[in-house]
Amino acid sequence: MKFGVVGSSGRMGRLLIAQILKTPGAELVGAAGQAGSPAIGHDAGLFAGVDPCGVRVTDDALPLFADADAVLDFTVPEATVQYAAWAAQGKTVHVVGTTGLDKAQEEKLTLAARHTPVVYAANMSIGINLLLAMVERAAATLQPSTDIEIQELHHRHKVDAPSGTALALGRAAAEGRGAVLDDVAVFDRHGHTGARPEGAIGFAALRGGEVVGEHSVMFIGADERLELTHKASNRAIYAEGAVRAALWAYGKAPGMYGMREVLGIN
């Protein structure tokens, strides 16, 4: 299976390249980075910190969508929307790990998915996706009076808050209760807030150091508390999940898929 990577000059891009090069049955055929990046013109493998692979990093992403069977995309929302359109035209599997997309941008992915398989997930980690399923089940099982709080901790460089994964966990909890997250989410507490509304799902975003990512969902009842936590110590877990998603999606019918489908989680 032929792979392309956009955002190759970034930290996640390099991990994606390294993961593809060590995955049986996967071949890297193209890598694109941001114009002006020091990666441009260099061997993608060497730039990723592994053996040379003979693929040079370019600043033109368009050919990837003609040459590759799947393109892995951990970039920025504006770029992802353009890549989705190219993936639709080229019938290329588009695996999207970009965070921070708004509803209009997500709709563009949905439109592209009419023509090609798109796997879109706020977090490609296998462990996180198991956590999402457990959170939905716990929310559905516990009493409606149980308070739900979501806390996430990331490195100082992260630009969006709460994280896309925290929001996905909130949606899973809300769905478990038969609610819509937008109706029950509480993102800010400052000053005289009054009592906590029943049914609310609270968020806390922490930033500092070089923490890869930690997420905790707390179900707080009157007499007991359940905490479900995932801690990532290496970003390579996201690359592993993305490559697995692309291999799974290859040959599938056009449509919008998530990691639950990839992993077979009901």
CA distance between the termini of the chain: 27
Supply the DSSP string of 232-257, one letter for each residue. ES-THHHHHHHHHHHHHHTTPPSEEE
Cis peptide preceding 162, ω within 30 of 0: yes
Active-site option among 42, 94, 154, 215: 154
Cα–Cα distance measured from residue 14 to residue 18, given in angstroms and rounded to the nearest whole number: 6
Catalytic residue of the set 2, 108, 115, 158: 158
CA distance 110 to 254: 10
Is residue 158 part of the annotated active site? The answer reads yes
Q: Where are the beta strands (DSSP E) in the chain?
A: 2-6, 27-32, 57-58, 70-73, 93-96, 117-120, 147-154, 185-186, 201-207, 213-220, 225-232, 255-257
Catalytic positions are: 154, 158
